């Protein structure tokens, strides 16, 4: 029952936030809620490969960026309708993930982390230099939808919300299914899992593809939302790191963790960093350092008395 | 023409060896990917810049001093922060050094601004004309100094008690602890040594390349590629990897155009990770 409760609760919380945002009609609240959905989708997707399987993937930016570029090129260059372009963003990202799965999933630890990190760098350079397709560093401006500004904001919120809900639902299903079991085995001891007959390579590939779908779609939708992308923006390394921080905040390897983590991260972002323009990145870095040192198991493992003792938690319930 | 390009590549490669040596040492001994490494290099370059503008010290002479200044800072950072999570999984250590790098880079941006600066040697060192090839003397001196630094690291690891302790921890941490080696202190020493080397390498780069906090990611990327090329955790591997990358970048810049040199390096890295993750000279043990 406990396993069911948390996702249900987070779903309800999401719906409540949605209703609040649309009813209030406040542009700022709506923008915040849309960003929250984006964060939830990214963190929850990362969690499938990074949390369940324990593979430290830094490829989120690559999936997001290639989705953004696929959607933008299709819309701006070939006049494809927006919903179709958004879906294509997800498909292109999934294809990239499938290819990557064959190439880099045999690497473990540091090597996997670096290989996944480098993918975004390579794609950024490609986007920079393949000018005939991507317009290079000039970026791509997207056609605006032919509806009013407020309707547009509401539409994007619902689209991001739907993708976020789907990715949380997917994580929940994976968690309860055979795939989730296989991924847990990989996380705990891959060699032993292999010896016991778990098809670890297939499970890892499935996890990587699953974790690329939502970022790909969201990248494409994001491009339409802000109506302009360039290589630096689309393949920003922070896009890979922020979902990890959110998952760490909420609890890696759980279904509800990334959802709470995304909400907590957004709250911190809004509370502190809007006032710290020059120190924005440094403050984010400080948050990361404190989080890693004192709360490696996420917020739900906070023991106020332990915090006062000024040392890292000795035995977090679940280590990533 | 080819001889000139090879010479350029070798000159660059010697510098690359010094850039990557500390990174490789930390990765090999602490099993940590130190994302701060690029920022340490840039910090060293700023050290050389300010010593040069304030006191007219040559950047090549400043290298040992700046490296020595870096040592206690890095030692403190390792003992107080990184040692706390050094045994944790990759995700944790990588995220920690990423966060630390965000802080350091942000501070450097605030302190030094993003403008590019450069140490201009006065008088310029000129060029060395060997008939078929022409060598800029400043690059030659920088490469020689950087190879000296790498040689110093190698002899430290080979010949001193501290160096043997570092190698022992690299080979088998638990056995080293049983032999009476203080593993935590060795970690801190290794990290500080690597940071000093990075800062000294930064000094050598100061008269050749523009200095800016923005450059740290580039240096970090190069250190990655060199480590994977040459094989993790060996000093000769770093030298081989450095020269290999230098020559390949020169050839790549010739055949594809200079703007693709970076992409080439990254593609090479991906390719190498696919077929031979242990590198060209990869093997266990740091010697």
The sign of the CA dihedral B202, B206, B212, B214 is negative
The Cα A130–Cα A78 span in angstroms is 17
For residue B30, the distance in angstroms to the closest alpha carbon of chain A comes to 12
Q: What is the pLDDT of residue B132?
A: 76
Q: What is the pLDDT of residue A300?
A: 57
Q: What is the pLDDT of residue A118?
A: 84
The Cα B44–Cα B65 span in angstroms is 10
pTM for this prediction? 0.82
Average pLDDT of the residues in A61-71: 95
Q: Name the most confidently modeled range: B98-102, B230-234, B262-266.
A: B98-102
How many separate helices (H) and strands (E) can be counted in chain B? 11, 2
User: Count of CB atoms within 10 A of residue A2's CB?
Assistant: 5
Q: What band does A76 get if pLDDT is binned at 50, 70 and 90?
A: confident
- In this complex, the residue of A113, A278, A280 whose CB is nearest that of residue B94 is A113
Q: Between these two residues, B251 and B158, which has the higher pLDDT value? A: B158
| Closest to A215 measured CA to CA, from A12, A53, A69, A84 | A69
Average pLDDT, chain A: 83
- pLDDT over 60 (residue A307): no
- Among A51-60, A298-307, B20-29, B83-92, the minimum mean pLDDT is found in A298-307
Instruction: Note the pLDDT tens digit of each residue in A18-40.
Output: 666 666 667 788 888 899 999 99
Q: Between these two residues, B178 and B2, which has the higher pLDDT value? A: B178
CB contact under 8 A, A114 and B224: yes
Percentage above 70 pLDDT, chain A: 84
The Cα A98–Cα A209 span in angstroms is 6
- Among A111-120, A288-297, B118-127, the minimum mean pLDDT is found in B118-127
Q: What is the pLDDT of residue A318?
A: 44
Structure tokens at A29: 């609240």
Structure tokens at B74: 């890095």
Q: Which residues of A touch B264 (CB under 8 A)?
A: none
- pLDDT over 90 (residue A168): yes
Q: Between these two residues, A179 and B91, which has the higher pLDDT value? A: A179
- pLDDT over 50 (residue A199): yes
Instruction: Note the pLDDT tens digit of each residue in B25-65.
Output: 998 888 888 999 999 999 999 999 999 988 888 888 889 99
Query: Which of B38, B78, B96, B102 would you mutate first to test chain A, the one with the most A CBs within 10 A?
Result: B102
CB contact under 8 A, A122 and B100: no
Query: Which of A288, A294, A311, A312 would you mutate first to test chain B, the one with the most B CBs within 10 A?
Result: A288
User: First vs last Cα of chain B: how many Å apart?
Assistant: 37
Q: What band does B271 get if pLDDT is binned at 50, 70 and 90?
A: confident
Please name the residue that has the structure tokens 């939502």: A214
The Cα A288–Cα A241 span in angstroms is 10
Q: Between these two residues, A310 and B65, which has the higher pLDDT value? A: B65
Q: Are strands B134-136 and B127-129 parallel, antiparallel or unpaired?
A: antiparallel
Structure tokens at A307: 């915090």
Structure tokens at A55: 């593979």
User: Count of CB atoms within 10 A of residue B163's CB?
Assistant: 20
Q: What band does B276 get if pLDDT is binned at 50, 70 and 90?
A: low
- In this complex, the residue of A56, A281, A287 whose CB is nearest that of residue B106 is A281
Domain segments of chain B as ranges: 2-275
DSSP character string of A209-257: HHHHHHHHHHHHHHHHHHSEE-HHHHT-THHHHHHHHHHHHH-TTSSSH
Average pLDDT of the residues in B139-145: 91
DSSP character string of chain A: -HHHHHHHHHHHHHHHHHHHHHHH--HHHHHHHHHHHHHHHHHHHHIIIIIIS------HHHHHHHHHHHHHIIIIIH---HHHHHHHHHHHHHHHHHHHHHHHTT--HHHHHHHHHHHHHHHHHHHHH-HHHH-GGG-EEPPPPSS-HHHHHHHHHHHHHHHHHHHHHHHHHHHHSHHHHHHHHHHHHHHHHHHTT--HHHHHHHHHHHHHHHHHHHHHHHHHHHSEE-HHHHT-THHHHHHHHHHHHH-TTSSSHHHHHHHHHHHHHHHHGGG-TTTHHHHHHHHHHHHHHH-TT-GGG--HHHHHTTS--SS-SS--
Q: Which residues of B touch A292 (CB under 8 A)?
A: 85, 92, 95-96, 99
CB contact under 8 A, B273 and A107: yes
CB contact under 8 A, A118 and B224: yes
The Cα B113–Cα B106 span in angstroms is 10
Q: What is the pLDDT of residue A315?
A: 45
- In this complex, the residue of A107, A280, A312 whose CB is nearest that of residue B277 is A107
Q: What is the pLDDT of residue B259?
A: 66
Average pLDDT of the residues in B227-244: 84
Coil vs helix vs strand at B195: helix
Q: What is the pLDDT of residue A312?
A: 47
The Cα B101–Cα B109 span in angstroms is 12
| Closest to B29 measured CA to CA, from B199, B241, B238, B171 | B171
CB contact under 8 A, A296 and B85: yes
For A17, residues 6+ apart whose C-beta sits below 8 A from its C-beta are A33, A36
Q: What is the pLDDT of residue A19?
A: 65
Average pLDDT, chain B: 85
CB contact under 8 A, A289 and B85: no
Residues, chain A, total? Answer: 320
CB contact under 8 A, A292 and B85: yes
- Among A278-287, B55-64, B138-147, the minimum mean pLDDT is found in A278-287
Q: What is the pLDDT of residue A319?
A: 41
- pLDDT over 50 (residue A99): yes
Q: Between these two residues, B137 and A311, which has the higher pLDDT value? A: B137
- pLDDT over 90 (residue B21): yes
Return the number of CB contacts < 8 Å for A and B.
117
Q: What is the pLDDT of residue A316?
A: 45
| Closest to B88 measured CA to CA, from A247, A292, A165 | A292
Specify the CATH number for A2-308; select among 1.10.1740, 1.10.3470, 2.60.120, 1.10.287: 1.10.3470
Q: What is the pLDDT of residue A313?
A: 44
Structure tokens at A53: 């399987």
Instruction: Note the pLDDT tens digit of each residue in A218-246.
Output: 999 999 999 899 988 899 888 998 999 89
Q: Between these two residues, B116 and A40, which has the higher pLDDT value? A: A40
Measured CB to CB, residues of chain A less than 8 Å from chain B are 50, 54, 56, 103-104, 107, 109-111, 113-115, 118-119, 121-122, 125-126, 129, 241, 244-245, 248, 252, 278-282, 284-289, 291-293, 296, 312, 319-320
Tell me if chain A has a CB within 8 Å of the CB of B278. Answer: no
The interface residues of chain B toward chain A in range 215-274, judged by CB-CB distance below 8 A, are 221, 224, 228, 259-260, 262-263, 266-267, 269-270, 273-274
For residue B97, the distance in angstroms to the closest alpha carbon of chain A comes to 8
ipTM of the complex: 0.80
Instruction: Note the pLDDT tens digit of each residue in B183-204.
Output: 999 999 999 999 999 999 999 9
Q: What band does B2 get if pLDDT is binned at 50, 70 and 90?
A: confident
Structure tokens at A99: 């290819």
Structure tokens at B13: 């490669």
Q: What is the pLDDT of residue A43?
A: 95
Q: What is the pLDDT of residue B201?
A: 94
CA dihedral B233, B239, B240, B242 (to 10 degrees): 100
- In this complex, the residue of A129, A292, A312 whose CB is nearest that of residue B95 is A292
CB contact under 8 A, A111 and B273: yes
Structure tokens at B16: 């690359």
- pLDDT over 70 (residue A214): yes
The Cα B279–Cα B241 span in angstroms is 9
CB contact under 8 A, B260 and A278: no
The Cα A269–Cα A32 span in angstroms is 11
Q: Between these two residues, A75 and A318, which has the higher pLDDT value? A: A75
For B167, residues 6+ apart whose C-beta sits below 8 A from its C-beta are B157, B285, B286, B287
The Cα A240–Cα B154 span in angstroms is 36
CB contact under 8 A, B99 and A320: no
> What is each CA distance from A290 to A286, B100, B114, in whole angstroms?
6, 10, 27
Q: Which residues of A touch B34 (CB under 8 A)?
A: none
8 A C-beta contact, residue A21 and residue A33: yes
Q: What is the pLDDT of residue B86?
A: 86
Q: What is the pLDDT of residue B160?
A: 92
For residue B170, the distance in angstroms to the closest alpha carbon of chain A comes to 16
- Among A81-90, A184-193, B95-104, B114-123, the minimum mean pLDDT is found in B114-123
């Amino acid at each position: 029952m406990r396993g069911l409760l948390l996702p249900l609760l987070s779903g309800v919380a999401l719906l409540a936030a949605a209703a609040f945002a649309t009813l209030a009609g406040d542009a700022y609240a709506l923008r915040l809620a849309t960003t929250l959905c984006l964060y939830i989708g990214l963190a929850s997707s990362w969690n499938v490969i990074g949390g369940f399987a324990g593979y430290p993937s830094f490829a989120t930016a690559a999936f997001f960026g290639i989705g953004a570029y696929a959607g933008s090129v299709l819309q701006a260059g070939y006049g494809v309708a927006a919903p179709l372009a958004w879906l294509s963003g997800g498909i292109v990202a999934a294809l990239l993930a499938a290819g990557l799965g064959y190439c880099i999933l045999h690497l473990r630890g540091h090597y996997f982390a670096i290989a996944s990190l480098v993918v975004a760098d390579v794609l950024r350079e490609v986007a920079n230099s393949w000018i005939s397709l991507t317009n290079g560093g000039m970026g791509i401006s997207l056609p605006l939808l032919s509806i009013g500004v407020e309707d547009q904001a509401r539409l994007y919120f619902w689209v991001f919300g739907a993708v976020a809900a789907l990715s949380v639902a997917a994580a929940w299903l994976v968690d309860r299914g055979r795939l989730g079991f296989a991924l847990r085995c990989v996380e705990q001891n891959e060699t032993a899992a292999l010896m016991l007959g778990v098809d670890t390579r297939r499970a890892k590939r499935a996890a990587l593809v699953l974790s690329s779908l939502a970022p790909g779609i969201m990248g494409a939708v994001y491009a339409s939302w802000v109506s302009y992308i360039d290589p630096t923006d689309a393949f920003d390394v922070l896009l890979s790191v922020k979902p990890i921080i959110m998952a760490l905040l909420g609890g890696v390897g759980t279904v509800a963790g990334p959802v709470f983590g995304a909400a907590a991260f957004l709250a911190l972002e809004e509370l502190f960093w809007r006032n710290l323009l020059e120190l924005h990145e440094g403050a984010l870095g400080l948050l990361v350092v404190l989080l890693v040192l004192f709360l490696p198991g996420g917020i739900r493992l906070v023991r106020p008395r332990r915090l006062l003792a000024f040392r890292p938690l000795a035995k977090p319930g679940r280590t990533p | 023409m080819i001889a000139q390009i090879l010479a350029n590549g070798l000159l660059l490669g010697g510098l690359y060896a010094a850039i990557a040596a500390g990174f490789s040492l930390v990765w090999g001994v602490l099993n940590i990917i130190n994302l701060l490494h690029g920022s340490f290099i840039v910090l060293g370059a700023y050290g050389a810049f300010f010593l040069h503008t304030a006191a007219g010290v040559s950047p090549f002479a400043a290298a040992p001093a700046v490296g020595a200044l870096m040592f206690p800072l890095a030692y403190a950072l390792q003992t107080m922060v990184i040692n706390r999570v050094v045994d944790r999984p990759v995700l944790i250590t990588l995220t920690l050094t990423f966060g630390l790098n965000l802080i350091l880079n942000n501070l450097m941006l605030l302190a030094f601004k993003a403008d590019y600066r450069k140490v201009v040697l006065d008088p310029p060192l000129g060029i060395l004309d060997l008939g078929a090839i022409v060598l800029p003397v400043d690059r030659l001196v920088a490469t020689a100094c950087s190879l000296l630094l790498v040689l110093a690291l190698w002899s430290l690891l080979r010949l001193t008690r501290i160096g043997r302790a570092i190698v022992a921890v690299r080979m088998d941490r638990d056995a080293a602890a049983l032999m009476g080696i203080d593993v935590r202190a060795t970690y801190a020493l290794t990290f500080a040594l690597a940071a000093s080397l990075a800062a000294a390498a930064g000094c050598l780069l100061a008269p050749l390349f523009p200095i800016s906090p923005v450059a740290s990611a580039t240096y970090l990327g190069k250190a990655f590629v060199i480590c994977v090329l040459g094989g993790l955790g060996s000093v000769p591997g770093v030298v081989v990897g450095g020269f290999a990358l230098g020559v390949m970048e020169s050839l790549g810049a010739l055949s594809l155009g200079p703007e693709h040199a970076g992409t080439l390096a990254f593609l090479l890295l991906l390719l190498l990770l696919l077929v031979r993750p242990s590198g060209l000279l990869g093997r266990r043990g740091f010697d």
